[in-house]
Amino acid sequence: MKPLQSCIAVFPSFSIIQKLVETKSCINRAIHQRDKMDISYEAVFRSLTGVAQATKAASDEIDTIKQLLSPGNEDSETKTKSASLSFQDWQVIIQQNVTKMTEVTIHIALVAVAVAFLRETARQNQPATANDISQCWTIIRDALTSTSFSQTQFTASRSAQGFLSVPLCSLVKEGSIDELIRLHVWMPDGKRGNPDFHLHSHQPFAQSWILAGQGVDHSYQVDPVEDPAEATHAGYALAWNDGKGANTAYKTHQASSTVQNTGKLFRAAKIHSETHARGSTYTVPAAEFHVSEVAPDALHATIFFFDSHRGFVKDAGVLGPKDGDSFTQLRDPAGVTPAELAEAVNQARLREASD
């Protein structure tokens, strides 16, 4: 995209503007051409709350963004009274208010818009085009690689499934995930978690958009059994620890997670396998057991959306060895930063695009 030189001339040190501001003709087209699906102010402001939780942003930063983006606000350059706007129009409004925002608040606002777009697209069962996902990824990548963010604002952690994750938006209600959108990256480092606990389920419904690489999702039929000879696994209960204590209440920023054998026995049988690559999306119903498989020497990246509004099962759990006791997964990413993950994913996307 070509930069709008008039804006850059006013703030030559704001490199972010070169990424945000399109040519005047592109802005005019975006203003007058609506996408099929609009995003309400309530949806964007809800995302802002979740992004603030994920990034540990200061409340005054979020209040400033909400004030500038509110419909009819006299401090805004747009003063729009529309109840909702398209994905493109939201980006235009932020672009038109960059003089009143810091680079950090610009990134937070854009990530909130991208999250709101993905949420509304998914819930309305609308397909996200390759261009849509590319726009979302550009917004996320720019935020994760921005030098304006301190190391504590976006954080990476190691999952028990082996991938590294970065929370982008987190809304927790009464100790359970209400909405959670994360970047998931399996690095080509051979680390794929503890295979004894790969078979797992999620409390909320989940949807994944593939950014790069290839993965295989295996679905399982799981039934309770009484006879140990018939059982393939035992059920394990999951607890999260944020450094202040461990319990079953979900925590956005975790130090570790622990699974404990419940003594309940299950028989698991694989019923379906499906390969997913860049440009595809798939869903996992709440409490459905599955395994995500990625080659140990390959990079695979997704945007993963846990959405309790499309399904939630409180006692969804993990399966493990029948004779096991407990297992703790430390979340320490071993020095890998969100910026490094974003750069690795972006390089993979560039390679795939050139193939």
With a cut of 60, say whether residue 126 has pLDDT above it.
yes
Task: Report, as an integer, the average pLDDT of 137-150.
Answer: 92
- Cα–Cα–Cα angle for 334, 338, 340, rounded to 5 degrees: 80
Per-residue pLDDT, 18: 53
Per-residue pLDDT, 77: 53
Per-residue pLDDT, 148: 84
Query: Do the Cβ atoms of 68 and 100 come closer than 8 Å?
Result: yes
Of all residues in the chain, the percent with pLDDT exceeding 70 is 86
All domains in the chain, ordered by first residue: 5-145 (no CATH), 157-354 (2.60.120.10)
Q: Which residues pair with 172 in a beta bridge?
A: 177
With a cut of 80, say whether residue 81 has pLDDT above it.
no
Q: Which residues pair with 166 in a beta bridge?
A: 183
Coil vs helix vs strand at 37:
coil
The residue type found at 60 is D
pLDDT band for position 119 (cuts 50, 70, 90): very high
The Cα 301–Cα 209 span in angstroms is: 9
Structure tokens at 107: 């990134």
Q: For the purposes of burial, counting CB atoms within 10 Å of the CB of 26, is it exposed (0-12), middle (13-18) or buried (19 or more)?
A: middle
pLDDT band for position 71 (cuts 50, 70, 90): confident
HSE of 187 in the Cβ direction (CA atoms, 13 Å)?
18
- Cα–Cα–Cα angle for 176, 40, 17, rounded to 5 degrees: 100
The Cα 263–Cα 41 span in angstroms is: 48
Tens of pLDDT, residue by residue over 301-345, are: 999 999 999 999 998 999 999 999 999 999 999 999 999 999 999
Q: Is 53 left (phi over 0), alpha (psi -120 to 50) or beta?
A: alpha
Q: How many other CB atoms are there within 10 angstroms of residue 93's CB atom?
A: 21
Per-residue pLDDT, 355: 84
pLDDT band for position 37 (cuts 50, 70, 90): confident
